[in-house]
Structure 1
Amino acid sequence: MEKKFNYQINDREVIITRPFEAAHTNVWEAFTDSRILDQWWAPKPWNCHTKSQEFKVNGRWLYYMEGPNGERHYSYFDYKSIDPQNSFSGLDGFCDENGNSTEDQPSSEWKITFSSDKEICTMKASCQYPDEETMKTFLDMGFLEGFETGLNQLEELLKR
């Protein structure tokens, strides 16, 4: 199998590709079902907690990451399109505990696609930012390292 975590950075876009030795439906569910997302989305020692999720077009996933000292960072993902088992897209951003966008924090447009070849399901995430400065802010916050850690946690979860 190819290298596990691949990424490329373009003008205002980060593209991440990650293969999993798992059934396509299991990988899809791991990205679309909050009960599974909560088990891997936050890089340890952080934990993810879903407040609400409506996985449908114009629905929202509202969640927070809780740190080892009890600190909380709230986020949302507003679903814009869903092609079952193939892809979904939406706006990812930071918010307060009630889901109100935090204007001083950056947001990004995501499209996540899933494809399979034999026993390998590959996830590809395209994250687009409004400008290069916003993208740099995300990268400086450790976005790539955190997402890679989460995806590695997902791999372990899929093996169980």
Structure 2
Amino acid sequence: MTKHLLFDFTVDKAAKAVFITREFDAELSLVWDAFTKQELLDQWVAPEPWKSKTKHMNFEVGGRRFYAMVSPEGQERWLIQKYTSITPKTNFKMFNAFADKDENPELPGSDWDFNFSEQGETTKVNITIYNESLARMEKMIEMGFQEGYTVSLQSLEELLETFKK
């Protein structure tokens, strides 16, 4: 029997925020690892046919992840994420911004807040993305963020399925 898994993606221009809720048919510890471990992130976070390539990652408060989304033609779009708060298995927060290949951020960026909860064999992830400016949020949406992140989350669902076999 296939489970119906919740997925919601809401853009709130007045709040300059995006709210994403996604359920996964996997236990909390595995979903947490998929969002916080480099070797798993690189397998799903870039929307296909793009690939993720992490240069370095240090998942701790004050740490960061510096990675590129690489197009099939080899074009790199770098991002930097700075971890600002971590409560293991339940929440982490980070500042996210595009960057150049030398790790110089392109501001403004956005603050991401990830909340994880487990209900039986299902894990729910609530993500809130607060943007410093409405213009940045609108640009992010125009660049196809909703479509791209939806594809990435589906890739994560498929990756999590491989752990059940």
Aligned pair partner of 2:37 in 26, 33, 56? 33
CA contact (8 A) 1:95 1:102 kept: yes
Count of aligned residue pairs for this structure pair? 158
Residue 71 of structure 1 aligns with an amino acid whose one-letter code is Q
Residue 106 of structure 2 aligns with an amino acid whose one-letter code is T
Residue 143 of structure 2 aligns with an amino acid whose one-letter code is M
Task: Give a deviation string over 1:55-101, Cα, whole Å, max 9, x none.
Answer: 00010000001001010000011000000000100100011112111
1:37-56 alignment runs, 5 A limit: 37-56=41-60
1:10-159 alignment runs, 5 A limit: 10=12, 11=14, 12-103=16-107, 106-159=108-161
| Secondary structure, aligned partner of 1:70 | coil
Residue 3 of structure 1: how far off its partner (Å) = 5.2
CA contact (8 A) 2:17 2:137 kept: yes
**Structure 1 unmatched runs, 5+:** none
Give the TM-score normalised by structure 1: 0.95
Q: 1:70 and 1:109 mapped to 2: Cα distance? A: 28
CA contact (8 A) 1:63 1:75 kept: yes
Residue 56 of structure 1 aligns with an amino acid whose one-letter code is E
Task: Give a deviation string over 1:13-55, Cα, whole Å, max 9, x none.
Answer: 1000000000100000000001000000001110000000000
CA contact (8 A) 2:5 2:24 kept: no
In structure 2, do the counterparts of structure 1 residues 129 and 142 end up closer, same or farther at CA, with 3 Å as the change threshold? same
CA contact (8 A) 2:50 2:69 kept: yes
Q: 2:36 and 2:76 mapped to 1: Cα distance? A: 22
CA contact (8 A) 1:64 1:75 kept: yes
Which stretch of structure 1 is more off in the superposition, 27-36 or 129-138? 129-138
CA contact (8 A) 2:95 2:109 kept: yes
Identical aligned residues as a percent: 35
Q: Cα RMSD over matched residues?
A: 1.1
Q: 2:102 and 2:6 mapped to 1: Cα distance? A: 36
Residue 132 of structure 1: how far off its partner (Å) = 1.7
